[in-house]
Structure 1
Amino acid sequence: MRSIIIDWLVDVHLKFDLSPETLYLTVNIINRFLSLKPLPRRELQLLGVSALLVASKYEEIWPPQVNDLVYVTGYTYDEKQILVMEKTILGNLEWYLTVPTQYVFLARFIKSAGPDRVMENMVHFLAELGLMDYDALNFSPSLLAASAVFTARCFLNETPAWTDTLKFHTGYSGHHPMECSEVLVITHSRVGEEGKATSCVQQVFRT
């Protein structure tokens, strides 16, 4: 259910033309909140859209209006419910929103890998797929970002897959990204399975 909500949030953040920083912070907020206060399945979409509101207010100049967020949920929740959940999120997280998300590391690591638009798109594709995978929560944001670069280079047959420059700028030697890379590869393979081919993340990077 978590992966379905996050995939839906990818679509919502694109509809509102929000920044990647907002998406990654939204997922970070969801993960931290659920680690403190598990919710029943019926409230996960409410958590997701409220986390998007919190992240948008932090990252965006013009965050979405609450009534617009009510609309994208199909009127499953009203404005009051979203605002109450927003307050609950901020209270549980003690208003701590300045956190190093995976996106913070991606730009630097991609630059260190060299200018290559195909590889850059592949890295972002893998990183966003990783947002949906529960197993990815076992890894730090910096390692997830490094592993997305490593995995993309492997997919594109770049040699060596892990250069000295990448070792220096990421702080990880070649074996560090491998375990996390396995998670990304498995997630990538699942996307093409029957019933999962409509992933919003996949559709974004097809265009």
Structure 2
Amino acid sequence: MASRAVVPQHENNEEVKQKNARADGRNRRVLQDIGNFVDEGPPQGKKPITEGIVAVAQAVKGPQRKAIGKADKPKPEDEIVISSDEKTEKSKHLSNRQGSSRKQVKTLTSILSARSKAVCGLINRPNVSIEDIDGADAGNELAVTEYVDDIYQFYKLTEDEGRVRDYMDLQPELNAKMRSILVDWLIEVHRKFELMPETLYLTMNIVDRFLSMKVVQRKELQLVGISAMLIACKYEEIWAPEVNDFVFISDNAYDREQVLVMEKTILDKLEWYLTVPTPYVFLVRFIKASSPSDDETENLAFYLAGLGLMQYTTAVMYCPSMLAAAAVYAARCTLGKSPLWSETLKHHTGYSENQLMNCAKVLAKYHSTAAESKLNALYRKFSSPDRNAVALLAPARSLLPMPIHHGE
């Protein structure tokens, strides 16, 4: 039977504590990179042990602090400031008086967020006026303000993976006009079922990616459309329409079994990859960064983005984030917002005014011809008062080509 280790009686408590401290230092050496704190020299007197990451950093760096003199103290320009000096001083006083500073300790999440912002240049950036568009949502857990910048940075990095590629040459029986007809009909179906806006954008992403992978006959194009919308509804909606609803809306052109078979085929081809950043994802963020943001600007940006979504050339030429940013820019030009493009918008979109100009001009051209088009489902949708009738607004003249005047 294994014997229990017994501490020799001749060792006093002070020696035991020193051994434990050395053991902890050896075991925690791998955590030396945790924390981003400025060394302030050896502690003066006995202080309470602080819980959290600060305690780990202090425990690991304790032996090192004694060796650091005044000449080795990091220079101010090499430090990344996570919190203000005022907050730091308050935390010190509270720690000394109350014996515990748990409430003042920075969490690992806040430290990583601060580091991420420092790397991206969000802090210590002089002479740049960028509004805090998430400040009002600080108390809203659903807004995830601690992670939202990282989330959209991830979207920008991964949007190319789910981007639509030029595929029309691979479809012998289809063309760009047929796709526009399908999108126009799906907009009607989307409105009839009163679905969420993100459902339509995901539907078209699924349609385009599937058509880029598999040859589809002309008679099956509508089947692909309703099957893609069925998948998007299951992904986005709380109460998704049933298969029989899509069979009915397509005038019984297909039966239930055909829809289910096509649904399975699409999912197999896409390998169930449905979490993709569509233009809608970026529109929500960019509209929020458009200050002042109002319902008219929001509806007009969605209308212009929808016009771009209908056109095959626009959908394959511009990535989702650029299409969304150009829609916001064209909306601001149409409504005469000043400035047309702010530092806040440039920061959150990642695009300058010159980079968006070509796409914005294309969207303005679609806006100018939408009323005469036979495919007018989107035009009628955004002509209603509940959408601020933004489709009836005159397009931005600054984005349209100047008319050519012949000699008098």
Which bracket does the TM-score occupy, shorter chain normalised? over 0.9
User: Displaced runs of 4+ in structure 1, greater than 6 A?
Assistant: none
Q: Which stretch of the first structure deviates more once superposed, 71-80 or 34-43?
A: 34-43
Q: Which stretch of the first structure deviates more once superposed, 35-44 or 167-176?
A: 35-44
1:75 aligns with 2:252: yes
The residue number in structure 1 matching 2:370 is 191
1:18 aligns with 2:195: yes
Change (3 A) 1:195 1:119: same
1:85 aligns with 2:266: no
Q: Which of 343, 359, 362 does residue 164 from structure 1 map onto?
A: 343
Q: Which of 277, 301, 308 does residue 130 from structure 1 map onto?
A: 308
* TM-score, reference length from structure 2: 0.49
The residue number in structure 2 matching 1:97 is 274
Q: Is the 8 A contact 1:119 1:156 kept in 2?
A: yes
Q: Is the 8 A contact 2:371 2:379 kept in 1?
A: no
**In structure 1, distance between residues paired with 2:236 and 2:193:** 13
Over residues 83-108 of structure 1, what are the superposed CA-to-partner deviations in whole Å (9 max), with x where a residue is unaligned?
Answer: 11101100110110010011111111
1:139 aligns with 2:318: yes
Displacement of 1:159 in angstroms is 2.9
The residue number in structure 1 matching 2:294 is 116
Over residues 25-81 of structure 1, what are the superposed CA-to-partner deviations in whole Å (9 max), with x where a residue is unaligned?
Answer: 001101111111232222111110000001011111211111110000011111111
The residue number in structure 2 matching 1:59 is 236
**In structure 2, distance between residues paired with 1:5 and 1:119:** 27
**In structure 1, distance between residues paired with 2:195 and 2:216:** 26
Partner amino acid, structure 1, of 2:190: H
Partner amino acid, structure 2, of 1:164: E
Partner amino acid, structure 2, of 1:157: G
Larger Rg: 2
**In structure 1, distance between residues paired with 2:223 and 2:342:** 43
Partner amino acid, structure 2, of 1:116: D
Q: Which of 160, 163, 185 does residue 8 from structure 1 map onto?
A: 185
Q: Which of 216, 224, 228 does residue 39 from structure 1 map onto?
A: 216
Displacement of 1:194 in angstroms is 5.1
Partner amino acid, structure 2, of 1:110: I
The residue number in structure 2 matching 1:107 is 284
Q: Secondary structure at the match of 1:80?
A: helix
**In structure 1, distance between residues paired with 2:347 and 2:195:** 32
Q: Is the 8 A contact 2:330 2:360 kept in 1?
A: yes
**In structure 1, distance between residues paired with 2:335 and 2:216:** 40
Q: Which stretch of the first structure deviates more once superposed, 63-72 or 154-163?
A: 154-163
The residue number in structure 2 matching 1:148 is 327
Partner amino acid, structure 1, of 2:218: R
Question: Among the aligned pairs, what percent are the same residue?
Answer: 56
**In structure 1, distance between residues paired with 2:295 and 2:207:** 30
**In structure 2, distance between residues paired with 1:184 and 1:194:** 14
Q: Is the 8 A contact 1:135 1:183 kept in 2?
A: no
